[in-house]
Amino acid sequence: MGILDIFKKPTIIEDDFFGKLRFRKTNDSENSYFEGKGLFGPTGKEIEFIIKGKESGPELKQKEFYNWVQENYRELITRLTPLVEEEFGNWKESFKIKNFDKEFKLVGITIPRHCKTTMEWDISFDTIHDENHQVTVDFIGKEPQGVLIDG
């Protein structure tokens, strides 16, 4: 990256599926990504997304993956809830989620570059339990792997 690269305008595209996206190029092209915002059907709310990929734009498989997450959102929440309860239990004794949708607000999703059954991706939430922290759940495929509470 040269000095002139600092002053280059960012690449912004209008994707037919995701809408307006801004490309973030990294030194390692495998880590380059788009960022944008859009409606997440199951919650009816706007969320942010990070879409790993090339400057040419998101691929069909990534769009299919986003649809899959929306279609399977309830199942994914059911799967991740015990991990979130366990992680919060390290801070708050006997922590139990009573109503996930009221206690947690989906704020973002990372869509992997390579959408396959072993794909690694994550989903992030804000929570009423600690407004200064964000909860991120890492997945491989549809199985949650771990929880990070960061603030």
User: How does DSSP assign 12-31, residue by residue?
Assistant: EEEETTTEEEEEE--SSGGG
In this predicted model, what pLDDT tens digit does every residue of 43-61 receive, in sequence order? 999 999 999 999 999 999 9
Which regions of the chain are under pLDDT 70? 1-8, 115-117
pLDDT tens per residue across span 85-97:
999 888 888 899 9
Strands (E), 27-129: 33-40, 45-52, 104-111, 120-127
Q: Which domain holds residue 89?
A: 3-150
Residue with tokens 């919060």: 88
At residue 131, the pLDDT reads: 85
Q: What pLDDT shows up at residue 94?
A: 86
- Cα-only R_g, the chain: 17
pLDDT of residue 115: 67
Rounded to whole angstroms, how far apart are CA atoms 83 and 61? 28
Return the pLDDT at 118.
77
pLDDT computed for residue 84 by the predictor: 96
- Per-residue pLDDT at 1: 52
* pLDDT given at position 122: 98
Has this prediction a pTM greater than 0.85? yes
Are 110 and 49 contacting, i.e. CB atoms less than 8 angstroms apart? yes
Report the domain count for the chain. Answer: 1
Are the C-beta atoms of 113 and 132 separated by less than 8 Å? Answer: no
The alpha carbon dihedral of 83, 72, 13, 25 has a sign of: positive
